[in-house]
Amino acid sequence: MYEHRRQPLLDRPRFLRRVARHGLVSLLLVGFSLLIGTVGYHLAAGLGWLDAFLNASMILTGMGQVSGLTTPAGKLFAACYALYSGVVFLVAATVLIAPLLHRLLHRLHLET
C-alpha cells in the first residue's frame, strides 16, 4: 500500500489521491457510525429521528448526550455507543493522518 523507504517519494498527484482515499474511508466510517447511532437511538431509546440523529452526532463528536434517556435499553445502547464512538474517533483520525505521517517519515529517511 505504501512505498518502501528505499523507493522514491510518491509524486504529488498520486500522494493527493492517496490522501483523498484515506479521507473518503474516514468519512465513510464516520457516516456509517452515525447511521448506526441514529437507528440505535431511534429503536432502543424510542427517540424521534431528528433527536436520535442529534444524540448520535453529539456522542460521536465527544460532546455528550442531549436527551435524557428513560428506558433501560436506551441507556445500555447509549453506553455501548459511547464506547464504540471513542474507538471510531481514534481510528478515523489515524486513517486520516496515516498518509501524511508516512510521507514525513519517508522524506526524513530518503538517502541523499
Instruction: Quote the pTM value.
Output: 0.84
Assigned domain for 19 exists: no
The residue segments making up the domain with residue 85 are: 26-108
Locate 87 and state its grid cell: 474507538
For the domain that residue 41 is a member of, what is the CATH number?
Answer: 1.10.287.70
pLDDT in tens, the chain (112 residues): 777 777 787 889 999 999 999 999 999 999 999 999 999 999 999 999 999 999 999 999 989 888 888 899 999 999 999 999 999 999 999 999 999 998 888 888 766 5
Assigned domain for 13 exists: no
Written as one letter, the residue type at 46 is G
d(CA 52, CA 97): 30
d(CA 48, CA 57): 14
Assigned domain for 62 exists: yes
Assigned domain for 100 exists: yes
Question: How many domains does the chain fold into?
Answer: 1
What pLDDT score does 67 carry? 85
What pLDDT score does 110 carry? 62
